[in-house]
Amino acid sequence: MKEMLRVGVIGLGCRGTGLLQTCLLPQKDVQVTAVCDCYEDRRDRAVQLVLDAGQPRPRALADHRVLLAMEEVDAVVITASWDSHINLACDAMNAGKYTALEVGGAYSLDDCWKLVRTYEQTGTECMILENCCYGRDELMVLNMVRRGLLGEIVHCQGGYCHDLRDEISQGRENRHYRFRNYLGRNCENYPTHELGPIANVLDINRGNRMLTLVSVASKAAGLHDYILREKGADYDAAQMRFAQGDVVTTIIKCARGETITLRLDTTLPRAYSRGFQVQGTRGMFMEDNNSVFLDGRDNRYDYSWKERWNSAEEYRQDYDHPIWKAYLAEGIKGGHDGMDWLEFRAFIEAARANAPAPIDVYDAAAWMSISCLSEQSVALGGMPMPIPDFTNGKWLQRKPWME
Amino acid sequence: MKEMLRVGVIGLGCRGTGLLQTCLLPQKDVQVTAVCDCYEDRRDRAVQLVLDAGQPRPRALADHRVLLAMEEVDAVVITASWDSHINLACDAMNAGKYTALEVGGAYSLDDCWKLVRTYEQTGTECMILENCCYGRDELMVLNMVRRGLLGEIVHCQGGYCHDLRDEISQGRENRHYRFRNYLGRNCENYPTHELGPIANVLDINRGNRMLTLVSVASKAAGLHDYILREKGADYDAAQMRFAQGDVVTTIIKCARGETITLRLDTTLPRAYSRGFQVQGTRGMFMEDNNSVFLDGRDNRYDYSWKERWNSAEEYRQDYDHPIWKAYLAEGIKGGHDGMDWLEFRAFIEAARANAPAPIDVYDAAAWMSISCLSEQSVALGGMPMPIPDFTNGKWLQRKPWME
């Protein structure tokens, strides 16, 4: 086990810079030895952050191949754009660096297979940085499911419901890749925040798998209306037609018979939600009113559920996941309500030990494939699409996540 | 305009008897002159209810054809089983009786067309009794939409989320048709409670129409688990395999580009909800936490929406629908939070005047067709199904509902 993990960061936009500050530089067992981005201003900012943290000056590189050739890099964190990060991850695995890959949907099944094949050929571990798998609610519900509280699980829902109209329309100026994606594509473009935790609840790639999906998109009206109001009719993007439907609904069917409903909802005014719901034969969790319904206990509230809104809080003591109980005791750190920190601890500890990735390429490939599959389903009017078995049958005997 | 409407009721199960008591016998302008059911015990009970209400003894009939031939019947309320009520409604239209038809999904497109063709050939009006179209929340949201508060509407959701495990499993003993439906069919079997109000919001058949749907069903686990626990392994239905998936998700695409998501969720433990959501370019309504989000007003609660749960109540004064404001002033009557009463007032007044049905055969056919279409889509793994235009193009010029 390495005492100190030497990390290179590739991709220094908003997310890469944020993670550097909140989840890498504060770690006692991490040294950031290299930072890489094609923009100089971003590299300079990153170097300064490393220096401010009291670490030696890292190498600042425009070419990721130079970073991947550095002996002083044990592990790589890839926080680049959706269209570059899978290739970068494969390059990193080929270079023998323990790899972490930020989330985002895939553009093709071939890219997903490439991730799997590169892992299988190199034996280098690669973790997808799906922070919501470490969310407090998500882990509490996983714990409830594992302990049988909700019975046999039948249906799950989730969503990436996040008003991004400001970010997307600013993308015109600030080089954010979401802008060009919303102009050109129409799909479930960001499935993993909700799907990751659901996949863990349903043992996807670990005793179960996703078989098929259908996706249907609404019209695209939200961004245009927003840009007209906020930027005016003379702003060039006010004349552009966005391909991306405002709400994309996807239904996935699993080998054990469960259904999963996903909702992408990022260009209309609304409050943030991951719309998490887990339903079994003995009970149900619903994020949007933070409730737990248990059969035999809550049935008398059938027509007065308002009285039980927020009832999930009653389950914290018995069902908060052990890693969250320990974490709450020591104090929450990092961004996104603390889940980024837990995710990075899992990554850093696995990388120091060169242990199997906490969330691996099979999960990454399966979860990210939803984007390109949904794109084709939407284009074909909701036609069912087969979801490949990226494990090639290994799902039949792989052990459940975090068990 | 008739002073008094003479009504015959066909189908005296739980729903027919309930409506007789709460929405027909208390009306000052209705006389119940005939009651009809194939079971004698139900007829006897109905006759007694009419007598108890101080009305003359109605005719009690086992054969609906005798009822439809009675001169003393102006209008017919059909509250029979899902598999008989469309034929009964067509017989009633052919007999020239102003017809009201309780809800339920259709078994075939042909039955939906029969309803439309019979209306077009006879000119006899037929109203589908979709009470939720008169719900207070549903009409408030319709009022918000009509007045532009939510902007251009892009996506709607709804569900029939109602734990019916007790009713369905009792169906083995009490002749309820849900039992045999859950044994043999797998579909969105009860779409109209949520779809009716959504169709009104989206001007379906009135400037818009539903084009296609996809449906995917989860496995069927809830009823079996419930029957084993509640009735024991020796109960005969404990050995039966139910075809009906516990959760069926349906996505409908409309001509103007909106999507509608429906959820049938009746065999798992949960609280009642119609899961109503309406989302536009300027705002959103969500039933499950009773909230209204308005762009420019609520954005600061993006990550603290809990503070705005129940915010829909703030809109009552300005946006409760005029017919609800008047109704609240005079006092709520009848079942289902009062919406049954409003629905029956609409029916009775239209029937007395022989005016167009408040919700007509085109709506009935389109809404009920979702069941048989979803059945085929589920069976084909979520294949998109075309939804017929039952208006044959008249939707392009029909006026919005209740405008």
Token output for B99: 């017809």
Q: Is residue A73 within 8 Å of A67, Cβ to Cβ?
A: yes
Residues of chain B positioned with their CB less than 8 A from the CB of A151: 225
- Name every chain A residue with its beta carbon within 8 A of the beta carbon of B299: 163, 269
A395 residue type, one letter = W
The burial of A295, by beta-carbon neighbours within 10 Å (0-12 exposed, 13-18 middle, 19 or more buried), is given as buried
What values do phi and psi take at A4, rounded to 5? -130, 135
- A218, A229, A383, best to mutate vs chain B, most B CBs in 10 Å: A218
C-alpha–C-alpha distance, residues A253 and A370, integer Å: 12
Helices (H), B123-164: 136-146
Q: Decide if A298 touches B, using CB distance below 8 A.
A: yes
Element housing A260 (H / E):
strand A259-265
In sequence order, the β-bridge partners of residue A204 are A208
**What does the pLDDT average to over A122-146?**
98
Q: What are the backbone dihedrals phi and psi of residue A397, each rounded to the nearest 5 degrees, phi first?
A: -130, 0
What is chain B's length?
Answer: 403
Q: Considering chain A, what is the average pLDDT of its residues?
A: 97
| Cβ atoms within 10 Å, residue B383 | 17
ipTM greater than 0.95, yes or no? yes
DSSP-derived secondary structure letter, B290? T
For A15-50, the pLDDT digits (tens) are: 999 999 999 999 999 999 999 999 999 999 999 999
For chains A and B, CB pairs below 8 A equal 183
* CA distance, residue A307 to nearest chain B CA (Å): 11
pLDDT at A400: 96
pLDDT at A134 over 90: yes
Chain B residues with CB under 8 Å of A155 CB are 218, 246-247, 265, 268
Residue of A290, A296, A382 with shortest CB distance to B212: A382
Give the distance, in angstroms, between the CA of residue A389 and the centroid of all CA atoms in the same chain: 20
In A274-400, the DSSP E strands lie at 277-280, 283-286, 291-294, 385-386
Measured CA distances, B201 to B36, B189, B191, B207, B388 (Å): 36, 22, 16, 11, 20
Query: Whole-model pTM?
Result: 0.97
Q: What local confidence, expressed as pLDDT, does residue A171 receive?
A: 72
Determine the Cα–Cα distance for residues A218 and B155; give it in Å rounded to an integer.
7
Contact assessment for residue B101 and residue B79, using Cβ atoms and an 8 Å cutoff = no
- Spell out the residues 6+ positions from residue A36 whose beta carbon is closer than 8 angstroms to its own: A8, A9, A10, A11, A12, A43, A60, A61, A62, A63, A64, A66, A67
Residues of A in contact with B249 (CB under 8 A): 251, 259, 261
The residue behind tokens 């539903």 is B210
Distances (CA, A) of A181 to A250, A272, B351: 18, 21, 55
Rounded Cα gap, residues B251 and A381, in angstroms? 11
Chain B nearest-CA distance from A223, in A, is 8
pLDDT at residue A88 in the model: 98
Task: State which residue of chain B sits closest to A256, comparing Cα positions.
Answer: B219
Contact between B268 and A256 using a beta-carbon 8 Å cutoff: no
Sheet containing strand A59-61, edge to edge, reads A59-61, A30-36, A5-10, A75-78, A98-101, A126-128
**Parallel, antiparallel, or unpaired: how do β-strands A126-128 and B291-294 relate?**
unpaired
At residue A209 the predicted structure's pLDDT band, cuts being 50, 70 and 90, is very high
**CA–CA gap between residue A86 and residue A102 (Å, rounded):** 9
Q: Would you tell me which residues 308-347 of chain B have a C-beta closer than 8 angstroms to some C-beta of chain A? A: 308-310
Q: What local confidence, expressed as pLDDT, does residue B307 receive?
A: 98
β pairing state of A247-254 and A210-217 = antiparallel
Can you give the pLDDT at residue B173? Answer: 73
- Res B343: pLDDT: 97
Q: Give residue B170's pLDDT.
A: 84
Indicate the helix (H) or strand (E) that contains B173: helix B165-174
Dist. CA A274–CA A159, nearest whole Å: 5
Please tell me if residue B381 touches chain A, with a CB cutoff of 8 Å.
yes
Model pLDDT, residue B160: 98
Alpha-carbon span A323 to A333, nearest angstrom? 14
pLDDT of residue B236: 87
- Residue B360 carries which side chain, given as an amino acid letter? D
Chain B CB contacts of A294 under 8 Å are 269
Q: Which residues of B touch A261 (CB under 8 A)?
A: 249, 261
Residue A176 pLDDT: 78
A-interface mutation test, from B188, B198, B216, B311, most A Cβ less than 10 A away: B216
Q: CA torsion A130→A133→A138→A142, rounded to 10°? A: 150
Instruction: Give the start-end residues of each E strand in B38-94.
Output: 59-61, 75-78
Classify residue B297 as exposed, middle or buried by CB count within 10 Å of its CB (0-12, 13-18, 19+). middle
In whole angstroms, give the CA distance from residue A190 to residue B376: 30
Torsion of CA A374, A92, A197, A214, to 10 degrees: 10
When CB atoms are compared, the residue of A265, A272, A381 closest to B302 is A272
Tell me whether residues B299 and A265 touch, CB distance under 8 A: no
pLDDT digits (tens, 9 = 90+) for A163-178: 999 999 887 776 678 9
Q: Does B301 touch chain A (CB under 8 A)?
A: yes
Where helices occur in B185-268 by DSSP H, the ranges are 192-201, 222-231
User: Going by C-beta distance under 8 Å and a sequence separation of 6 or more, which residues neighbour residue B330?
Assistant: none
Q: Which CA distances in Å does B233 have to B163, B182, B238, B246?
A: 21, 19, 6, 20
List the one residue out of A346, A374, A54, A36 whose CA is nearest residue A45. A36
What would the two tokens of residue B310 be?
Answer: 């129940």
Interface mutation vs chain A, best among B254, B282, B288, most A CBs within 10 Å: B288
Structure confidence at residue B403 (pLDDT): 84
The whole-angstrom separation of Cα B313 and Cα B16 is: 33
Q: Which residue has the higher pLDDT, A180 or A173?
A: A180
Contact A303 B381 (CB under 8 A): no
Predicted confidence band of residue A60 (pLDDT cuts 50, 70, 90): very high
pLDDT tens by residue, A372-389: 999 999 999 999 999 999
Which positions 155-184 of A are in contact with B (Cβ < 8 Å)?
Answer: 155, 163
The share of chain A scoring above pLDDT 70, in percent, equals 100
Angle, alpha carbons B115-B120-B121 (nearest 5°): 100
Non-local CB neighbours of A204 within 8 Å, separated by 6+ positions: A198, A210, A254, A363, A366, A395
Task: State whether residue A282 sits within 8 Å of chain B by CB.
Answer: yes
Rounded to the nearest angstrom, the minimum Cα separation between A388 and chain B is: 16
- Contacting residues of A for B257, CB less than 8 Å apart: 218-219, 221
Cβ contact, residue pair B154, A272, below 8 Å: no
Which residues are within 8 A (CB) of B228 and not within 5 positions of it... i.e. 6 or more apart?
A: B238
Quote the tokens at residue A6: 């030497």
Name the amino acid, one letter, at A225. D
pLDDT on residue B327: 95
pLDDT tens digit at each of 403 positions of chain B: 999 999 999 999 999 999 999 999 999 999 999 999 999 999 999 999 999 999 999 999 999 999 999 999 999 999 999 999 999 999 999 999 999 999 999 999 999 999 999 999 999 999 999 999 999 999 999 999 999 999 999 999 999 999 999 999 887 776 778 999 999 999 999 999 999 999 999 999 999 999 999 999 999 999 999 999 999 999 989 999 999 999 999 999 999 999 999 999 999 999 999 999 999 999 999 999 999 999 999 999 999 999 999 999 999 999 999 999 999 999 998 888 899 999 999 999 999 999 999 999 999 999 999 999 999 999 999 999 999 999 999 999 999 999 8
Q: At what angle do helices B192-201 and B136-146 cross, to 10 degrees?
A: 20
Which chain A residue has its CA at the smallest distance from B260's CA? Answer: A218
C-alpha span between A283 and A11 (Å, rounded) = 43
On chain B, the residues whose CB falls within 8 A of the CB of A299 are 163, 269
| Partner-chain residue, chosen from B258, B286, B295, that has the shortest CB–CB distance to A219 | B258
Chain B: closest CA distance from residue A379 (Å)? 12
Residues facing residue B40 across a β-bridge: none
pLDDT score recorded for residue A173? 73
Strand order in the sheet with B277-280: B291-294, B283-286, B277-280, B153-161, B259-265, B247-254, B210-217, B385-386
Interface touch B225/A271, C-beta < 8 Å = no
Nearest to A212 among B279, B302, B382 (CB): B382
What pLDDT, on a 0 to 100 scale, did the predictor assign at position B48? Answer: 98
Helix (H, G, I), strand (E, B) or coil at A292: strand
Pairwise CA distance, residues A352 & A349, whole Å: 5
Q: Which one is predicted more confidently, A175 or A140? A: A140
* Max CA separation in chain B (angstroms): 65
**What is the chain A residue with the closest CA to B246?**
A154
Q: In the predicted model, what is the mean pLDDT of residues A225-234?
A: 95
Inter-residue contact A21 to A45 (CB < 8 Å) = no
In this predicted structure, what is the pLDDT of residue A48?
Answer: 98
Query: CA dist B96 to B30, B68, B129, B131, Å?
Result: 18, 9, 18, 24
Comparing alpha-carbon positions, the chain B residue that sits nearest to A157 is: B249
Instruction: Give the model confidence (pLDDT) of A267-326 as tens digits.
Output: 999 999 999 999 999 999 999 999 999 999 999 999 999 999 999 999 999 999 999 999
